[in-house]
Amino acid sequence: MSGEQLLSVGIDIGTTTTQLVFSRLTVQNEGTPFSVPHFAITEKEILYSSKIHFTPLLSDTVIVTAGVAQIVVPEHAAAGMAKADVQIGAVFITGGTARKENAAEVLSTLSGYAGDFVVATAGPALESVLAGKGSGAQSYSEAHQCAVLNFDIGGGTTNLALFDCGRLIDTGCLNVGGRLMKVKPDGTVTYLSPVLQPYFHFVIGQQLAPQELEAVTGFLVSVLEKAVSGQAVPDGFLTDKAITVRGNPLFSFSGGVADLIDDTTREPFAYGDLGVLLGKAIFASSLCGKQFLRAKETIRATVIGAGSHTTELSGSTILYDRVEFPLKNLPVATLAPGEEFEDSAIVAEKIRRRSALFSADGSPSVLGLQGRANPKFSELCKLADGVALGLEPSAQAGNPLIIAVEADMGKALGQALRMLLPEVPLICLDGVHLPEGSYLDIGSPVASGQVLPVVVKTLALG
């Protein structure tokens, strides 16, 4: 069965490396002729993987914006892709690079190279998920009906994602990576990360033998071991949140350091950092003491996740009218399920208060609702009244009204709102779960206008 095809690009600007991946996504209707259409992305084909470039840094705190552009533009040409060819995409600043002073500037500069529908995000939880998907850990977990914990170990951070039978269970992020120290080929220290400085008192210019750094790599391995065993990690090493691991999941490793997790003899400072020594220390640790999974993708895991696993599709029972696509970086305000079907005036007041928190400057935002699969007509009308009243200030400001319902009732709610607000631009989609504090991108309609491509994301920088 043929389907509509979308060209996607993923751009990952990491602590150590910058990469691009171009993918072709196929959208098909998986519903039967006698049911409501159900569209899904059924195939993800990688068309081109870029060279692996070192991320250009002016200093420890500043990215060379022009240098990143000088990587991205030629790689588009090498792939045979023009900017106009790309329909959807994701630009990620990941790991320690997200803390650079001009991270937001870099994202803004590159957004045009990821199509009209672009993700610009560096949230550690989402990064963990994408690495877990791009590495093959999630698919292995689903295919073998087992639990897999993926460690995506890069230059500045380690992103953790736990899957059980293919379902995401938890994520975490630690300040553990290969470039927490930088050294010359002779072992001369050129950089020591602030997270290591309280524990190790090396000085810039000091020359160290590989054996003298075993204490550092052993310490970093102990941080990983503590994190997955439920113990407290040392101060400064918990980036996002602790991960809860139960049972005995299979360990999987991706990221640049993953290619060095073995007992192969290499030059200890081959990459000018701790990568070789850290990989060897992990291989000799309890993390590899039992069978572990060699990831399908290692250093490219996150960028493959960015290019192939960011886009979702809305449900097909949706309504949109008088709206120009795409819509980007829309903050999400949500109501609790118990609040949605109260008296219309109460619902309206709660919507006004929640929306004001996430759209203080009057810019458009998204109202996230859980809804009900089969609401009564009276319930639907009452909810529509509350939503119309609550979003009236946004409508008066000239903004489109954007509602995302998790339950399959988007079109019915949209039609009720259209009757109440006939002149206001409106989107009412369903089939999308929106956590509080997230952001939403909405792309141009696909599948003959029946569904909208969406990305739920975070925008955590620095």
The token duo for 213 is 């750094």
Residue 375 lies in a domain: yes
Q: Does residue 181 share a domain with residue 45?
A: no
Q: Does residue 84 share a domain with residue 26?
A: yes
DSSP string, 234-293: PTT-BSS------S-PEEEEESGGGGG-S-----TTTTSBSHHHHHHHHHTSGGGSS-EE
Burial profile 187-220: b = 16 or more Cβ within 10 angstroms, e = fewer: eebeebbebbeeeeebeeeeebeeeebeebbebb
Residue 103 lies in a domain: yes
Backbone angles phi, psi at 362, to 5 degrees: 85, 5
Q: Does residue 181 share a domain with residue 90?
A: no
Q: Which domain CATH number covers 39?
A: 3.30.420.40
The token duo for 174 is 């630690």
Determine how β-strand 312-313 pairs with β-strand 453-457.
antiparallel
Q: Does residue 187 share a domain with residue 79?
A: no
Residue 130 lies in a domain: no
Q: Does residue 140 share a domain with residue 110?
A: no
Tell me the C-alpha distance between 342 and 34, whole Å: 35
Q: Does residue 272 share a domain with residue 148?
A: yes
Q: Which domain CATH number covers 264?
A: 3.30.420
Provide the domain limits for residue 61: 4-122
Task: Give the residues of the chain that fall short of pLDDT 70.
Answer: 1-2, 33-36, 95, 98-99, 111-124, 308-311, 359-362, 458-462
Tell me the C-alpha distance between 181 and 196, whole Å: 8
Residue 311 lies in a domain: no
Bridge partners, residue 20, by sequence: 11
Residue 303 lies in a domain: no
Contact of 265 with 304, CB cutoff 8 Å: no
Q: Where are the alpha helices (DSSP H) in 9-157?
A: 65-79, 103-110, 124-134, 137-144
Nearest to 208 by CA among 118, 154, 268: 268
Bridge partners, residue 401, by sequence: 426
Rounded to 5°, the CA angle 178-55-302 comes to: 70
Tell me the C-alpha distance between 399 and 380, whole Å: 23
Determine how β-strand 401-405 pairs with β-strand 426-430.
parallel
Residue 127 lies in a domain: no
Q: Does residue 289 share a domain with residue 143?
A: yes
Residue 458 lies in a domain: no
Q: Does residue 190 share a domain with residue 97?
A: no
At residue 359, the pLDDT reads 66
Q: Does residue 172 share a domain with residue 65?
A: no
Q: What is the pLDDT of residues 148-182, one digit of tens each?
A: 999 999 999 999 999 999 998 999 999 999 999 99
At residue 184, the pLDDT reads 96
89 three-state secondary structure: strand
Count of structural domains, the chain: 3
Q: Does residue 236 share a domain with residue 209?
A: yes
At residue 390, the pLDDT reads 93
Q: Does residue 257 share a domain with residue 348?
A: no
Q: Does residue 140 share a domain with residue 115?
A: no
At residue 241, the pLDDT reads 83
At residue 368, the pLDDT reads 92
Residue 301 lies in a domain: no
